[in-house]
Structure 1
Amino acid sequence: MENQAIPKKTLLAILGASLMAFCGVLVETSMNVTFPTLMKQFGLPMNVVQWIATGYLLLVSLTMATSAFVQRRFKIRSIFIFAGLAFIVGSFVCALAPSFTVLLIGRLIQAVATGYAIPLLFAIILQQIPVARLGSFMGLGSMVVGIAPSLGPTYGGMSTYLFTWREIFWFILPVVVIAVLLGSFTIPQKFETHRDPFDTFGFILLAVAFFLVAESFTDAGTYGWISIQFWGFLVVGLLVLAWFAYHSTHSKRILLDLAIFKSPTLVLSLIPYFLLQLINIGISYLLPNYGQLVFGANSLVAGSAILLGSLAAAVIQPLSGRMLDNRGAAVPIRIGGAIIVIAMVLFASFGLHLTNTLIVLFYLVFGIGFGFSFGNAMTNGIQQVDLKLQQDANAMFSTSQQYAGAIGTAIMATLLTSSQESGRHLSQAVLSAQGSEHDFILLVVLSIVAFGLMIVNFRKQAQLKTTKSVF
């Protein structure tokens, strides 16, 4: 079984889906490094421009939340072609955008494409790859969606420095076209489709909840962490999210089957996965801006500082997936979690005095830890539920991954903006460094929480395994 051959058509389908997902995730963070440029060009503050990232990630998250339903109703190949065409249209709108509003519209069109492409990649892997090789292929898939955000600033910085930010969208178009062609002829259909009714009310509740929570963190940068705007939006958003959960468990129309949350080990896999992606997107947003705002690096240098760590994570993810296949999930995930804590402590310790060299070295440490833990957390989590719920588990992990990015970007931008607008008579470089230090300290706390939950999770899994063997 371990050496079971994978059909070439399946491999080509995975390649096509991987290319599409990679392009979608790449543009998530490729624009982060252009924020200073966009602020000058359109005359807008940071907390407005950052909606280029936050708005994109919010819509990706919402689209992914519908992916399990959409995959049950439509053929995977049809969804893939739709996503590819939407991505191409969105790229043209962005590249030709005469204003910030049009640019944001183009980004939202791309977000719908990305929101369907990523779950499709994992759906193909889960449906077509034997269990004995699932860790390796899930590692490859996770490498695509986990590393592309880190490569984004390098790609965006290079395009902006050598040309303009518009080339970010022009250069990626040929890759998307190739992906669409590959997927159109090779993507298989394993399950029959069903014409189930769409849960419109549930979707509206989820959209409102996602927006309000993200907006609360954005408003914290303008009004402060103890403001009525922050706490009002946050509390109402969480209440609407609870309403969505109640509605979903009492409705015959299923947008997302929340029965997956009956598995405590899935929950204990999902939360660290969410936190790891929040850290990943947050720091890949923060570091390029730190380079430009604190020590005056150009967009190319600032974006390239995290390239080495990204490549390290890219190499390690499929190898750590194979480690999961051979030795179980606990070993690589615990190793990765511990290394990420070390990396965040290093960033926090040197937060006021980082250099480009230190950023490269510390991010390399982070990339190694991320490569060991990120993809395996998703693989391990999905394996905690029955086969019939794995589609919904895939959708939940994909949704949480993207929403973590939206929240991470908003929090990093908020803490940075709060320091820059504090009114203290210091240079913008010093204020930006102080704001970044606050971000790093928060990331230390989040990494420790994630690592602690990983330890609890595998103790719980060991207990459940022991209980099952007794009976």
Structure 2
Amino acid sequence: METKKWRLLPAVIATAIMSSVGVLIETSMNVTFPTLMRLFQINTTTVQWITTSNLLALAITVPVSAFLMRNFAVKKLFITANLLFLLGVITCFLAPSFGVLVLGRIFQGTGTGIAMPLMYHIVLTKAPKNKRGTLIGLATMTTSLAPAVGPTYGGIIATSFGWRMIFLLLIPLVILSFVLGYYAMSMEKVSKHEKFNLKSFLGLAVGLASLLIAIQRVSLLWLILAIASLLTFYYFNRQNHLLDLSIFKNKKFFYFMYGSLAFQAASLGISFIFPNFLQLGLQQTATEAGLFMFPGAITVAVVAPIAGILLDKIGPFKPIASGFFLSSLALFLLIFLIGQNNIPLFLSLTILYMVGLGLAVSNVMALALTQLDDYQQDDGNSILNTLQQFSGAVSTTVVAHLFIAVPKNIATPEVFGSRNGFILLFIVLALGFLFFVQTYRKNTSPLL
């Protein structure tokens, strides 16, 4: 598991820890909103910037990671990501005002935006093909566990020790990631030095930020600004590539990528529906609703590495197809059974969905990226990670609207809204299943 002076497995674990901590802190702060509103005397719209600022920094940084990885040594980028995140954690812990707290969240989002693509870059460039499935499965295990653990971690720590301790207790994990990565990675020379396309970057940054705000606020004005900015990015990107958009001409990459995005959308949609349904429809507490998602997260953590091993041993079709089928079946059953006040049944179907997720999501991601040539890997990695962030944001926003868009004469509005959400998620995931099967079977040559 070594590539020259690289220690591959520890390097992957180091970047996975860094990415997981970034995702964990993103979701753990949601439970602190009421406390922060009272402390800083702010309203609901303002406190949302705790999450929005982090997502914006992440969304802006991830697309630039392709340029960074082509022009800077991986070890330098890893060290930078850790130091930025550590700075963000300390800033938030000591924050005397809401503005400083938001600044710390921006530092954290930037560090996570560098670390997350770096994790897959190391696997794709350093690992032999017969080990990629296992290593991506290992990486997915940690990053899939973090979103579900986040609310539980944040609730327990905030209740027991105060919200600032949410940040302080992450410092040992950041230090562990830094030490492990510094030991495992070799400082390689990078001979290629491109000129940074500032105009293209600004167009992309403003476009992504505006699009995220447009989705969250359902604003036509912000959407127009996003479209104009993204067109600006496209124009200047043609002159000097910040991202190689020609990879979208690769149909195999495009359709397999859609499968990965479909799972991201469905997972975050479920993560919105059930906590709200359990609290509003079944009168469960916030802690109980948060703990409901925890068994599913453990399931993904167990299944994902096994799925990676299966990919390396028997190929991609069976584990990915099985994963799509099980997750789609779980969503299909939820459409008809959501009216039952049966929490064990809901938990069983959620675990069934997570088994499918664990079998398929990391493998279909690996399959998508493997369709690209070596020189396109970094761009594909950056684009895939960026679109995952947006697919999750879009899914959460649309599902939230479906959840509350209920006719007045409906006796059980939470059931009605949840069912509509599950219908949408089932369609999105079923299309991913169809695209995967059709694309895979059209190719006679091995795809991975």
Aligned counterpart in structure 2 of residue 392 of structure 1, from 351, 373, 379 = 379
Question: SS at the partner of 1:461?
Answer: coil
1:160–1:300 contact (8 Å) kept in structure 2: no
The answer as to 2:46 corresponding to 1:58 is no
The corresponding residue for 2:226 is 237
The corresponding residue for 1:175 is 173
Aligned counterpart in structure 1 of residue 21 of structure 2, from 20, 23, 29 = 23
Aligned counterpart in structure 2 of residue 270 of structure 1, from 257, 264, 279 = 257
> Relative to structure 2, which stretch is displaced further, 367-376 or 69-78?
69-78
Aligned counterpart in structure 2 of residue 73 of structure 1, from 63, 71, 75 = 71
The corresponding residue for 1:306 is 293
Unaligned 5+ residue runs, structure 2? none
User: Structure 1: which amino acid aligns with 2:51?
Assistant: A
User: Structure 2: which amino acid aligns with 1:234?
Assistant: L
The corresponding residue for 1:223 is none
Offset at residue 64 of structure 1 (A): 0.9
Aligned counterpart in structure 2 of residue 371 of structure 1, from 358, 374, 379 = 358
Structure 1 residues 245, 455: closer, same or farther in 2, change over 3 A? farther
Pairs within 5 Å for 1:78-227: 78-189=76-187, 192-220=190-218
Matches of 2:419 and 2:97, distance apart in 1 = 33
After superposition, give the CA deviation of every residue in 1:138-176 in whole Å (9 maximum; x if it has no partner). 111222223322222232233234343333222211111
> Relative to structure 2, which stretch is displaced further, 390-399 or 235-244?
235-244
1:94–1:106 contact (8 Å) kept in structure 2: yes
Structure 1 residues 365, 136: closer, same or farther in 2, change over 3 A? same
Matches of 2:380 and 2:151, distance apart in 1 = 30
The answer as to 2:243 corresponding to 1:261 is no
2:295–2:351 contact (8 Å) kept in structure 1: yes
> Relative to structure 2, which stretch is displaced further, 300-309 or 100-109?
100-109
2:92–2:167 contact (8 Å) kept in structure 1: yes
User: Structure 2: which amino acid aligns with 1:377?
Assistant: V
The answer as to 2:446 corresponding to 1:457 is no
> Relative to structure 2, which stretch is displaced further, 93-102 or 295-304?
93-102
Question: SS at the partner of 2:121?
Answer: helix
User: Structure 1: which amino acid aligns with 2:369?
Assistant: I
Offset at residue 43 of structure 1 (A): 6.6
Offset at residue 67 of structure 1 (A): 0.6
2:6–2:186 contact (8 Å) kept in structure 1: no
2:59–2:209 contact (8 Å) kept in structure 1: no
Q: Percent identity?
A: 32
Offset at residue 136 of structure 1 (A): 0.9
The answer as to 2:278 corresponding to 1:291 is yes
Matches of 2:111 and 2:77, distance apart in 1 = 9
> Relative to structure 2, which stretch is displaced further, 119-128 or 382-391?
119-128
Aligned counterpart in structure 2 of residue 251 of structure 1, from 232, 239, 242 = 239
Offset at residue 243 of structure 1 (A): 4.3
The corresponding residue for 1:224 is none
Pairs within 5 Å for 1:460-471: 460-462=442-444, 465=445
The answer as to 2:364 corresponding to 1:381 is no
Matches of 2:380 and 2:172, distance apart in 1 = 32
Question: SS at the partner of 2:327?
Answer: helix
User: Structure 1: which amino acid aligns with 2:433?
Assistant: F
After superposition, give the CA deviation of every residue in 1:101-154 in whole Å (9 maximum; x if it has no partner). 443332221100100111111122222211111111111122222332222223
TM-score (norm 1): 0.85
2:27–2:151 contact (8 Å) kept in structure 1: yes
Offset at residue 382 of structure 1 (A): 0.9
The corresponding residue for 1:441 is 423
Offset at residue 273 of structure 1 (A): 1.2
The answer as to 2:323 corresponding to 1:336 is yes
1:146–1:374 contact (8 Å) kept in structure 2: no
RMSD: 3.0
Question: SS at the partner of 1:453?
Answer: helix
Matches of 1:359 and 1:270, distance apart in 2 = 29
User: Structure 2: which amino acid aligns with 1:383?
Assistant: T
Question: SS at the partner of 1:31?
Answer: helix
Offset at residue 56 of structure 1 (A): 2.1
Matches of 1:323 and 1:170, distance apart in 2 = 38
TM-score (norm 2): 0.89
Structure 1 residues 285, 162: closer, same or farther in 2, change over 3 A? farther
Aligned counterpart in structure 2 of residue 12 of structure 1, from 2, 10, 13 = 10
2:12–2:135 contact (8 Å) kept in structure 1: no
2:137–2:306 contact (8 Å) kept in structure 1: yes
1:157–1:304 contact (8 Å) kept in structure 2: no
Unaligned 5+ residue runs, structure 1? 221-228
1:150–1:281 contact (8 Å) kept in structure 2: no
Matches of 1:350 and 1:203, distance apart in 2 = 47
Offset at residue 356 of structure 1 (A): 4.2
Structure 1 residues 331, 452: closer, same or farther in 2, change over 3 A? same
Structure 1 residues 54, 412: closer, same or farther in 2, change over 3 A? farther
